[in-house]
């Protein structure tokens, strides 16, 4: 029995080490953090059961495949619900403290974000723009792309997850890659260019400066808002710099004296939140910057998707 206990301790230590990677993979596949956590927790139980039957030699490889299979099942079920969703369905944002001091007039600092212990830091490999594009793929395409292109899983193993041959999986990944390149192109932007665009965006939005916003928005900018039928939001994407600027200035004008507008990071990229006096977020926005302009603005106001984003309550008005 002692050896069994030692083995479970060994498995637990290894699973703790790889858990951040498993969570990132599950989140990239599902677009919701709660579902990702459930899948990873369920996989731990499956791992211990499988190891009792036959020792698992490579825990990380086994767990990545097992998490992906379970996530694919959940994704296929969720797809039906998302098709009936009120308005656009946007992925749940992963919000982190602001990395640098982009705090123009009219904004407060990044605040004391109540980070859960399980928070996993994301970089541009799982950017918010990419997450939005992944929602347009079929479950099989999304799985093939995420596992192979983002996490380096060989096609032979991906084939076992999606239930198709390696050649078919290569085609799935290629189709997904083409969609991603078209919808979330990777462009090199200097840090100075990036910070200028983000700072001017915040300054213009907070100051009600439509012309200033138009200047920093790409002419073809797209703004999407997700209210889930529970909060006011545009039912269809808003396109064009002038229209997006007017929408954002109108939204900023509704901010009350007790609310705070805070710059932060969303999925490793620039973002903004509107925070209530009790520390809850009533809006989280993700910004996509390319070639020195804001290319996408994604606004989440659906309460269910903001439940994890909490700040230290601000001063009473």
- pLDDT attached to residue 192: 73
CB 88 within 8 A of CB 238: no
Check if the beta carbon of residue 77 is closer than 8 Å to that of residue 56.
no
Alpha-carbon gap, residue 287 to 268, rounded angstroms: 11
Tokens 């098709």 locate to 83
**Dihedral angle of Cα 192, 198, 199, 204, to the nearest 10 degrees:** 140
Mean pLDDT by groups of 10 residues along the chain of 317 residues: 78 96 95 94 96 95 96 91 87 77 53 49 72 94 96 95 96 96 70 79 90 96 93 91 95 86 86 90 92 92 90 62
Is 29 in contact with 40 (CB distance < 8 Å)? Answer: no
Give pLDDT, residue 2: 46
The structural domains of the chain, ordered by start, are 2-87+132-183 (1.20.140.160), 88-127+187-317 (3.10.450.50)
What's the CA gap between 216 and 186, in Å, rounded?
A: 19
What is the pLDDT, as a whole number, of residue 252? 86
User: Could you tell me the pTM of the whole model?
Assistant: 0.86
The answer to whether the CB of 214 falls within 8 A of the CB of 241 is yes
pLDDT for residue 263:
84
The beta strand positions in 70-120, using DSSP E, are 95-96
- Write the CA distances from 24 to 31, 32, 79, 85, 91, integer angstroms: 10, 11, 20, 24, 13
**pLDDT value of position 140:** 96
Q: What's the confidence (pLDDT) of residue 189? A: 58
Q: What is the pLDDT of residue 132?
A: 94
**pLDDT score, position 113:** 56
Is 153 strand, coil or helix? Answer: coil
**β-pair partners for 96:** 265
- In this prediction, residue 118 carries a pLDDT of 44
Which among 295, 314, 34, 20 is positioned nearest to 184, based on CA atoms?
Answer: 295
């Amino acid at each position: 029995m002692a050896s069994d206990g030692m083995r479970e301790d060994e498995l637990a230590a290894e699973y703790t080490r790889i858990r951040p990677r498993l969570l990132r993979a599950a989140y990239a596949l599902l677009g919701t953090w709660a579902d990702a956590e459930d899948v990873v927790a369920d996989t731990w139980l499956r791992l211990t059961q499988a190891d009792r039957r036959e020792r698992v030699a490579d825990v990380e490889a086994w767990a990545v495949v097992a998490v992906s299979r379970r996530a694919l099942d959940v994704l296929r079920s969720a797809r039906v619900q998302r098709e009936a969703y009120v308005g656009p369905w946007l992925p749940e944002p992963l919000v982190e403290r602001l990395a640098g001091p982009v705090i123009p007039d009219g904004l407060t600092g990044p605040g004391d974000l109540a980070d859960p212990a399980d928070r996993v830091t994301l970089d541009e490999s799982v950017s918010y723009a990419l997450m939005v594009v992944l929602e347009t793929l079929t479950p099989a395409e999304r799985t093939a792309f995420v596992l192979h292109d983002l996490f380096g899983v060989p096609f032979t193993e991906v084939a076992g997850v999606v239930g198709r041959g390696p050649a078919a999986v290569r085609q799935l990944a290629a189709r997904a890659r083409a969609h991603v390149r078209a919808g979330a192109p990777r462009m090199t932007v200097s840090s100075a260019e990036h910070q200028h665009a983000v700072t001017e965006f915040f300054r213009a939005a907070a100051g009600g400066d439509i012309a200033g916003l138009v200047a920093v928005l790409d002419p073809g900018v797209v703004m999407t808002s997700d209210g889930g039928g529970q909060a006011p939001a545009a039912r269809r994407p808003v396109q064009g710099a002038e229209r997006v600027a007017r929408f954002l200035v109108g939204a900023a004008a509704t901010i009350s004296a007790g609310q705070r507008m805070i710059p932060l990071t969303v999925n490793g990229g620039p973002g903004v939140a509107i925070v209530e006096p009790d520390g809850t977020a009533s809006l989280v926005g993700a910004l996509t910057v390319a070639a020195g302009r804001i290319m996408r603005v994604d606004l989440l106001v659906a309460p269910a998707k903001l439940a994890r984003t909490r700040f230290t309550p601000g001063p009473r008005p």
